[in-house]
Homo-oligomer: A and B are copies of this chain.
């Protein structure tokens, strides 16, 4: 049930890429007051000149916006809920830009946070001495499958039927989900941001298959990312890697479904192996394979997905050897130091904590020693 109050919420969308434009357009069509921010003037100008975003596909119509801007203070001023729909690699810079302008009571949702997104955002606000009382949340993935053909025009291919979300501090999750539910009733609460971060299946489905498809990527053949790329051996590798991820989830007493279960629940694609399961998801028939190793599947999903999960697994003394091999292979193939540039328990100041202290921080948002009972 929506209250009158909630219906009047003002939404700010940070990021004018495929996801941000789709969300802004969709929300405009749904009648929410919504404004959009992007760093690229061309994108913003195109949207401004037509006053909103044309949406096709699962949703059809013209989403009117309050305004579109390249000024972060403008988009934040008066916004109740701020949705960051941007590459995880940009989260730190966005947090820094937002810090001086955030006000008490505003809610920031990283949509999605990749791994450790909310923790990093919070860390940056602290570094920037932002004292406003802000709740930060993250979602497990992007709710849309979408494309933007040109600025101001998007194609929404699919909308997820459920999406897990949590806030830091965790006792604000229910409030955040209630706000999100005014537009997206399919959002539901997770235990805490650590659970959301560990539910990052992009870290499973993107880097390993991409690297192990190096020859196909650099071949003359067109290929389909999931249908051709998740071969039996590659699918098996991802399933084994996913067990490492789940061992961390379990060690922390959290919940996450495995990749196979994920396809069964969310895509109605049931099969004994991942290689077979992806072929039962018709939507994947249109997902083309990349033509270069330099894509977000590696450049983002390794440092913002695998690297933090590996660092956490090592902190817990768990076997993360397959994930680690993929991190190293990515670093060596692309000549990048993802371990250094990525999010880790060290970079987030968690590595000196005990596991109990870390989880207490994740729950409460307050760093500190736990007094023994």
Residues of A within 8 A of B (CB): 209, 211-219, 221, 223, 228-229, 231-234, 236-237, 240, 293, 321-322, 325, 328-329, 332-333
Note all chain B residues with C-beta closer than 8 A to A212: 211-212, 214-215
Least CB separation from A240: chain B residue? B332
Tell whether A219 pairs with B216 under 8 Å between CB atoms, given A240-B332, A325-B329, A333-B233.
yes
A219 CA to B234 CA in the complex, in Å? Answer: 12
The answer on a CB contact under 8 Å between B328 and A325 is yes
A187 CA to B325 CA in the complex, in Å? Answer: 40
Q: Shortest Cβ distance from A253 into chain B, in angstroms? A: 28
Note all chain B residues with C-beta closer than 8 A to A214: 212-213, 231, 233-234
The answer on a CB contact under 8 Å between A219 and B237 is no
Other A-B contacts than A240-B332, A321-B332, A325-B332, 4 sampled, CB-CB below 8 A, are A213-B215, A219-B231, A321-B328, A322-B332
Note all chain B residues with C-beta closer than 8 A to A221: 219, 221
A254 CA to B275 CA in the complex, in Å? Answer: 47
Least CB separation from A332: chain B residue? B322
The answer on a CB contact under 8 Å between B234 and A215 is yes
Least CB separation from A237: chain B residue? B333
Q: Shortest Cβ distance from A147 into chain B, in angstroms? A: 24
Q: Shortest Cβ distance from A31 into chain B, in angstroms? A: 46
A240 CA to B322 CA in the complex, in Å? Answer: 22
Tell whether A228 pairs with B240 under 8 Å between CB atoms, given A322-B332, A325-B332, A329-B329.
no
The answer on a CB contact under 8 Å between A233 and B322 is no
Q: Shortest Cβ distance from A213 into chain B, in angstroms? A: 4
Note all chain B residues with C-beta closer than 8 A to A321: 328, 332
A77 CA to B197 CA in the complex, in Å? Answer: 69
A-B contacts, 8 of them at CB < 8 A, read A212-B214, A214-B233, A215-B223, A218-B231, A219-B221, A233-B333, A237-B332, A328-B328
A234 CA to B234 CA in the complex, in Å? Answer: 17
Note all chain B residues with C-beta closer than 8 A to A209: 215
A240 CA to B333 CA in the complex, in Å? Answer: 10
Q: Shortest Cβ distance from A320 into chain B, in angstroms? A: 12
A179 CA to B34 CA in the complex, in Å? Answer: 86
- Please list the 4 inter-chain residue pairs (A to B) with the smallest Cβ-Cβ separation, ordered nearest first: A218-B231, A213-B215, A215-B216, A212-B214
Least CB separation from A235: chain B residue? B218
Note all chain B residues with C-beta closer than 8 A to A237: 332-333
Note all chain B residues with C-beta closer than 8 A to A228: 215, 219
Note all chain B residues with C-beta closer than 8 A to A325: 325, 328-329, 332
Among A209, A213, A293, A321, max chain B CB count under 10 A is at: A213
Q: Shortest Cβ distance from A335 into chain B, in angstroms? A: 8
A215 CA to B214 CA in the complex, in Å? Answer: 8
A333 CA to B221 CA in the complex, in Å? Answer: 24
A218: contacting residue among B211, B233, B322, B329, CB under 8 A: B233
A109 CA to B214 CA in the complex, in Å? Answer: 38
Note all chain B residues with C-beta closer than 8 A to A218: 231-234
Q: Shortest Cβ distance from A229 into chain B, in angstroms? A: 6
Q: Shortest Cβ distance from A299 into chain B, in angstroms? A: 14
Tell whether A215 pairs with B240 under 8 Å between CB atoms, given A325-B332, A329-B325, A329-B329.
no
Among A211, A213, A214, A322, max chain B CB count under 10 A is at: A214
